[in-house]
Amino acid sequence: MADSKTPLEHFLSWFATVPPDHQLDIATVASFLPGFESVQRVDDHSQIPNRFVDVVRSYMATESKLSEKAMSITLHYYVGPEIVEKRAASDWRAGQAGLGEVMDTLGYQEDDPQLQSGVNAAEFRHRQWIATRDKWRRLVAGPFSIEAIRRFAERQ
């Protein structure tokens, strides 16, 4: 039985499951892609993910499967390697070391609660990006794979 959801619907389902700060990061970086220029034209910065979703949905609303296929391929090749994979692969320990240097310069002790809070937050954010990356990899191995996008475009 064929999947009744389109590739972009699968993408948006995935997007809805990632943490809000990841949605904001993904939408902001993707706003530099052709067709997404309006994403940053919002009065409230927190609305960027909503505008991003609206733009993606606009490609689903067209009569042309070619438009939806093109946007699916663009997001497939851009969001994963250029945003999600890079964030998950980042070295949070380097950020931790930098924070430690700043805190040391400011006279904080290594066991200071503020310093520990920053370290814990950096590690937590990194773990969240790893979880987002793992969800992304499942998405592109299944319903948002290039093969799934191709099959969608060939459906009558």
Print pLDDT tens along the chain (156 aa): 457 899 999 999 999 999 999 999 999 999 999 889 899 888 898 999 999 999 999 999 888 888 999 999 999 999 998 889 888 887 666 666 666 677 667 776 666 676 666 667 778 888 999 999 999 999 999 999 999 999 999 985
Question: Would you say residue 55 lies in a domain?
Answer: yes
In a domain, 33, yes or no: yes
Residue 1 lies in a domain: no
- In this prediction the pTM is 0.82
How far, CA to CA in Å, does 77 sit from each of 42, 96, 99, 112, 117?
26, 30, 33, 42, 35
What is the count of structural domains for the chain?
1
In a domain, 84, yes or no: yes
Range of the domain at 96: 7-154
Polymer length of the chain: 156
In a domain, 130, yes or no: yes
- 36, part of any domain: yes
